[in-house]
Amino acid sequence: MPRTLPLAALALGLTLAWTIPSAQAHNVWLQPSSTVLSKAQWITVDAAVSNDLFFFNHMPLALDNLTVSAPNGDKVAVDNLSRGKLRSVFDVNLAQPGTYRLAVVNHGVMGNYKLNGEAKRFRGGIDSYAKDIPAGATELRLGEQVGRIETFVTVGKPSPLKPSGVGLEMVPVAPSHPNDLVAGEAASFRFLVDGKPAAGIEVALVRGQTRYRNQVGEVRLTTDADGKIAFTWPEAGMYWLEAEVKDKRTTVKDAAERRLTYAVTLEVLPQ
């Protein structure tokens, strides 16, 4: 399975060193009970960090930075939010027609240092991390992390979606909406870094239910000069799409590198 350590670390709120073997990582995801609805109603969303896609077998996803955006841009309150041993869960009342974006966006700093010769590691927010580093720390190494985990749900007619312009994001090209995906049909997506098309990004695409097949069936694609990938959906089901990129365009002055991660759950419907 594709491994996304920085994204999983941010999602879990772990205190990790900047460099840890990726074999320790897991997949992070949001899965709504429905992605396409004919009329206003409630949905339930599961959120987890797992070994198998869309199965609760590792840890719950932290939802401290969860945002649900209505079609008109308003923030929607969630109900019955709960964090169990293996998953988090919440309900949302989708009262407006159009498309809702459900996203967990984490922005922080991870790093390590030495204090009196002893190795230390930490994670903190971009505005507060400096307070976590004691006076006298040496060999300080910092990395900025921006992670987005999201999914989309549409009530009635789909409405346009606009990227935030921050970090790594995906926008659908054809079809032009993430809730209009059909098995046997081609789709293309554009990846953006800070709102601009990003070439050379490796994207992993995996259909769910990996627990019940011997081959994961992961597909890896690389964005072209215009930031796009193209793919034909082989069958209906829930899919997980993940990407990661590193650059030097940090917003934290002491960070040497910025790591951007993205994961989205998409539903492909039968014809």
Spell out the per-residue pLDDT of the chain, length 271, in tens.
344 434 444 443 333 222 223 333 589 999 999 999 999 999 999 999 998 999 999 999 999 999 999 999 999 999 999 999 999 999 999 999 999 999 999 999 999 999 999 999 888 888 878 788 888 889 989 999 999 999 999 999 999 999 999 999 999 999 999 999 999 999 999 999 999 999 999 999 999 988 898 888 899 999 999 999 999 999 999 999 999 999 999 988 889 999 999 999 999 999 9
| DSSP assignments along 19-88, one per residue | ---GGG--EEEEEES-SEESS-EEEEEEEEEESSTT---SEEPP-TTEEEE-TTS-B---EEEEE-SS-E
Contact of 239 with 266, CB cutoff 8 Å: yes
Domain boundaries, the chain: 5-268
C-alpha 258/C-alpha 146 separation (Å) is 8
